[in-house]
Amino acid sequence: MYLANQALLPIRRSWEKQQQFVADASHELRMPLSIIRANAELVFRHPDRTILDMSEPLSMVLSESTRMGKLTDQLLTLARADSDQDEIILKPLHVDEIIHEVAQKFEPLAELKRLRLETKLESGLEMRGDRERLHQLFVILLDNSMKFTPENGMIHIAARRQGQLIEVYVKDTGTGIAAEDLPRIFDRFYRGDKSRSRSTGGTGLGLAIAHWIVSRHGGDIAAASESGQGTTMTLHLPASPRKSTSWPDGG
């Protein structure tokens, strides 16, 4: 009987995890749906008013529908990850090129927010990875730093080879993470400051997806932060073996 119960433990844990996931997803979707419904009803109560008069509730509908679209995409990613349906396609690539590409896309946003975005990337950082997922990973990390770094702050992203690993860190001078929240930031739906997350469009899933992407590439990710002192995300990814140099025989 004991052995039978032990054998069932992984199945029971998987079931409980799935049930929790469904409950959390339902809870997260309920709020934007309620806001959309309330604002749509408000518009229909005043058919005599112009679109300009009702611009505030209409913009709220658009904002929450955009947020819900992002949330459903993230939920689909995690659901596929849990069922091993979301394949990671590993091909040779240079991760420094992906980081540079993502950083370039964020430069206009940084300028608008008066943030300094700096990169220090060692060239030729070759590894086997999924280009699309790694792009998504760095978008998540830079987007988080951008959201929580106030005006005139700085975001620094660096990458270098360390032996058999590629080390990447994203460091910001943002609001930081409270000590009690730090151990749980990679948990799904976890948000230390829920009001702040909602105001910035956060879903509590970005870092969970980032953790999954890094893990599927055989790497690890960790956060170091103090409230009010900024945050540093450090990740390690397996590098491709260095190409050996062959020398001609002496003679």
- pLDDT of 244 > 70? The answer is no
Phi, psi of 221 (to 5 degrees): -140, 140
For 116-123, what is the mean pLDDT? 96
Q: Which of 2-16, 22-36, 226-240 has the lowest mean pLDDT?
A: 2-16
Under the phi-then-psi rule, with left for phi > 0, alpha for psi from -120 to 50, and beta for the rest, what region is 239? beta
- Kindly report the average pLDDT of the chain as a whole number: 83
Is the pTM for the entire model greater than 0.85? no
- Give the Å distances, CA to CA, from 20 to 27, 72, 189: 11, 16, 11
Phi, psi of 170 (to 5 degrees): -120, 115
CA 184, 188, 194, 199: dihedral to nearest 10 degrees? 130
For 225-249, what is the mean pLDDT? 82
> Which tens digits make up the pLDDT trace of 124-171?
999 999 999 999 999 999 999 999 999 999 999 999 999 999 999 999
pLDDT at position 158 is: 97
Share of the chain above pLDDT 70, in %: 79
> Which tens digits make up the pLDDT trace of 2-23?
555 555 566 566 556 666 666 6
pLDDT at position 220 is: 96
